[in-house]
Chain A
Amino acid sequence: MRTWRRWVGRIRGLLRPGAQDAQARDEMAFHIEMETREGIARGLTPEEARRVAMRDFGGVERYREQVREGRWGHGIQQLARDTRLAFRSLGARPGYTSVVLATLGLGIGATTAFFSLVHGVLLRPLPYPDPDDLIRVGAVWEGTPQGALSPAEFTDLESSLADLRGMGAYAFGSLTFTGEGRAERARTAFVSSGVWQALAIEPALGRVFTREEDARAADVVVLTDGFWRARFGADPAVVGRTVQVSGVAALVLGVLPPEFRMPEDLVSPEPVQVVSTLGIDPATVDLGQRGNHFLLGVARLAPGMSLLDGIGRVRDAGLRMVEVYPDEYPPEMRFRTAASPLLDHLVGQARPTLLLLMGAVALAFTIVWANVANLQLARLASRSGEIALRRALGAGRWRVVSQVLVESLVLALGGGILGILVATGATGLLVGTVPGNLPRVEDIGVSGPVLAFGLGTALCSGILFGVIPAWYAARGPLPTRIGSGHRNTGDGSRARVRQGLVISQVAVAVVLAASSVLVARSLRALADVDPGFSTDNVVSARFGLPSSRYPADADVTDFFASFVDELASLPGVEHAGAVTNLPLATGLGDMSFELEEERIPDGRDKPDADWQVVTPGYFEALRLRLVSGRAITERDRTDAPGVVVINRTMAALHWPDQDPLGRRIRLGGEDTEPRWAEVVGVVDDVRHASLDAPSRPQMYLAHQQFRGWSGGAPLRTLTVVAHTTLPPGELARSIRERLSARDPELALYGLTTLDEARDRSLARQRFTGGMLTAFTTLALILALIGVYGVMIYSVRQQTREFGIRIALGAAPGSVVTGVLAAATRMVLPGIAVGVLITLSLSSVLRGFLYGVSPTDPGSLALTIAVVAGAALLASYLPARLASRADPVAALRAE
């Protein structure tokens, strides 16, 4: 009760500071009046009595001030007063204030916008309940980073990790929906029932499949919300109905909520549309068959289980597997099972690029910061008279410091608010420019954590750039010459601090400029890479032939052969062909083989090479360069002798200085019957995986012949390519029409031109380069402003000196040279420090560069020339100003 009343009193005092003050004044007046009366009663004259009373009391003003200071909330009022003062004094200098606000707004805006990207991609939690409990479970062995699990390994893991809250495995593929409407290929996740538990997903309609249904072969499907709306018009009655899916009648079990995503959907541009069963029955899995790694494992830690604990359990399960199946996992394979946080696993590959750029942003921001600190120092010099006056009038040291700091904070917060506005606009722009292969960019925005980051940056920088001027204000000399514009004794050290700030700005600008020059060179080197094939005017599209409609091997090979012929006969098409995997789009598998002249004993490692299956016309359509021999042609039919075309790397590796044509290799594993193939041609290397990866040995096999070698069916899914003289869009349309005319139930996808594919493969490097260039430009401009500011200030300070020198006969040119020399004394150390920092960062930069060394002298020289040239340009204007100093005016001013 009393406490409550006390607080009411405090708040009232805070809101009406005058009332209490007036009370205190009345009380004191009464006190003195009473004392005076007593004095008169003792026989003093009224004047004497009052004088004694005042003396004994000891200074009404002083004690009133003490009453004020002792009051609760005094600090807040002081702060309010300082803030009002700051607003007034900043408002009185609109030029200065707007330059600082604009600099800060840009700097904080760019930093915050980029942070929103980093937060959205790397830091934002996954969209599942308790996402930190999710782990990726995979297998690792010699030469293979954490990868997929085999069905047998998954089955073992599922039973040994039973005390986790859920363990599941899944793989991606596609199902083709036919029947109602046009044939449509739907990206499908084939999942075990444990995935539902691990990801904690509840359907919006119907149900998901249960453990008992795990073994069913894709004849039950669960639709995603998007696919349900697009194909079935959001009809709830579709649940429980049977639809035609890839040639079988499949039951629609349920519909997932709109926010459902498979973990990989957050990373891949092509989201899952349908979920179906994995078709693995734990009861019937052959546990002795440990190979065939294609399953992605996901698990959820049990409540209270630590990540380390979970990782340990997964590792122990792997150790048991190695014990039970020593033949399958020989020691040299170094097989183990491993787990890592799911989020890390998904976004880890984007991390280096984003962190590099975040580092660049942070560097650019230090330049912003140094500029503002510099401006503050210059301002402090011009108001040292005012500060001296206030100290003389009794303002304590702390009062002056707090006022300077409060002003910095007001500026910083203003800059922060501007910055967040800038960031809100810039984030949209930024998300528009990021490459599609950057995960999770779709719903990035200025969220709570991003806001906190922006304001936090503003506040921290406000304190930081306020501290230097505050320190000078505190230590500033007591006024000897209030109001005089002459240099104070503190000027020398302040000038040194300002020069130091400029030196570090130049150094940072050099680091940024060098990085962006290097990345730009690397990008050009990449764009100039000869991929070994032509991307001009080539259109590609992919489709597969379901075994339900094309059961016989010949159906498949004939369909592709005749369809490719049909494309080639289209007007404007010069060549057409088909291939398993287009370069720069997907990776390739490898296959081991033996040379006829060098048989490898069983159990020893055989050589291997990446393989492609092609139809006749593929080499011509992509204009692969034939080095010798011939391409795959119509002659290479199923019943003809096996042939292979190899690339230059493979030829050089196995037949150095010999003619590989006519040599024979034996393909196929131990289980299948080996087939002989004769080398009939050598083609130039193709950059398949990416433009910056060196070519591996590679062989091209004929689509017609390939089924025999694998002992199974021919490949049912191929990418057709056609080289055209027509606009690519027209050709794409006629490919779709032709396919639909042959079989309306086939779904065509991945329609693209190779130029686009090549562009996409460079998207990330281009993004890095573009961002770095933007930050560098910003940094350079700000650093130049810094140099300009310091030079113009020092020239103004020395106007009299220059005037006298000119009066004494110095040529204006020598004054210009003198100022430029002074600028050089600042810029050169900055450049030297910057170059040293760049060199020390070379190991970081190396990972982002192709075809250019991080210590490339040419790039460094260019950087130095740009920064030095720009800095001299920024000092030239002040130098001109100095050379025009008027000697008469300078002397008169004295």
Chain B
Amino acid sequence: MSRQRRSDVIKGTLDMLILRTLEREELHGWGIAKRIQQRSGEVLQINQGSLYPALYRLADRGWIESTVGESAEGRTVKIYRLTLEGSKQLISESANWKELSAAVNMVMGTV
């Protein structure tokens, strides 16, 4: 396996990434981890284990919910999906993120 340079997920953005991933499709935990990795062009390597405390935290806040479903291999797994409150949260977090990244870009661009 060729090791690429991977970036740790910036602190505090994991929640947003999970919400964003679940906005497109319902997924189980491993699927979320894979999807984030793929979509970032294998750049973002989330600390896989830390995904689970985050999932339970988001579920407790009511932003995502889980149902029992089947994996592609036919295994019974927990499938997560976004709730209405989760979508609202995602909108506000995305807006914040755009603002922040634009600001960072502006600073970096001037150097």
Contact = CB atoms under 8 A, between A and B. Distances in A.
Interface of A: 2-3, 6, 9-10, 20, 23-24, 26-28, 30-31, 34-35, 39, 42, 44, 52, 56-60, 62-64, 66-67, 69-72
B49 A59 contact: yes
Interface stretch (B55-63, B91-99, B103-111): B55-63
22 contacts: A2-B83, A3-B62, A6-B60, A10-B60, A27-B29, A27-B52, A27-B77, A30-B71, A30-B75, A31-B48, A34-B30, A35-B30, A39-B1, A56-B48, A58-B48, A58-B49, A59-B49, A63-B49, A66-B50, A67-B52, A71-B56, A72-B60
For chain B, which range describes its interface: under 10, 10 to 19, 20 to 34, or 35 or more residues? 20 to 34
Contacts of B48: 31, 35, 56-58
Contacts of A27: 28-29, 52, 77-78
Contacts of B84: 2
A2 B62 contact: yes
A509 to B, nearest CB: 54
A58 B78 contact: no
Nearest to B57: A70
B33 interface: yes
A3 to B, nearest CB: 7
Contacts of B62: 2-3, 6
Contacts of B53: 63, 66-67, 69-70
B56 A30 contact: no
Contacts of B28: 27, 30
* 7 smallest beta-carbon distances between A and B, as pairs: A66-B53, A63-B49, A58-B49, A31-B30, A6-B62, A34-B30, A57-B48
Contacts of B49: 28, 57-60, 62-63
A67 B85 CA distance: 22
Contacts of B78: 23, 26-27
A56 to B, nearest CB: 5
A contacts with B: majority SS: helix
Interface of B: 1, 28-30, 33, 47-50, 52-53, 56-57, 59-60, 62, 71, 75, 77-78, 83-85
A228 to B, nearest CB: 67
Contacts of A9: 59-60
Given A2-B62, A2-B84, A30-B71, 19 more contacts: A6-B62, A30-B29, A31-B33, A34-B30, A35-B30, A35-B48, A39-B1, A42-B1, A44-B1, A56-B48, A58-B48, A58-B49, A59-B49, A60-B49, A69-B53, A70-B56, A70-B60, A71-B56, A71-B60
Contacts of B60: 6, 9-10, 70-72
A846 to B, nearest CB: 65
Contacts, number: 69
A60 B49 CA distance: 7
A3 B56 CA distance: 16
A726 to B, nearest CB: 88
A789 to B, nearest CB: 47
Nearest to A72: B60
A66 B57 CA distance: 10
Nearest to A63: B49
Contact of A67 (B1, B33, B47, B56): B56
Nearest to A23: B78
A28 to B, nearest CB: 6
Contacts of A60: 49
A797 B60 CA distance: 52
A71 B83 CA distance: 19
Nearest to A44: B1
A30 B1 contact: no
B82 to A, nearest CB: 12
Nearest to B32: A31
B77 A30 contact: yes
Contacts of B59: 9
Nearest to A2: B62
Contact of B30 (A6, A20, A24, A30): A30
Among A3, A20, A24, the most chain B Cβ lie within 10 Å of the Cβ of: A24
Nearest to B29: A27
A50 to B, nearest CB: 14
A892 to B, nearest CB: 53
Contacts of A71: 56, 60
B83 to A, nearest CB: 6
A34 to B, nearest CB: 5
Contacts of B33: 31
A385 to B, nearest CB: 34
A56 B57 CA distance: 21
Nearest to A27: B29
Contact of A28 (B52, B71, B85): B52
Among A44, A59, A63, A67, the most chain B Cβ lie within 10 Å of the Cβ of: A63
B1 to A, nearest CB: 6
A10 B56 CA distance: 11
Contacts of B47: 58
A240 B52 CA distance: 86
A63 B50 contact: yes
A58 B52 contact: no
A152 to B, nearest CB: 76
Contacts of A44: 1
A58 B50 contact: yes
A66 to B, nearest CB: 4
Given A42-B1, A58-B49, A31 B83 contact: no
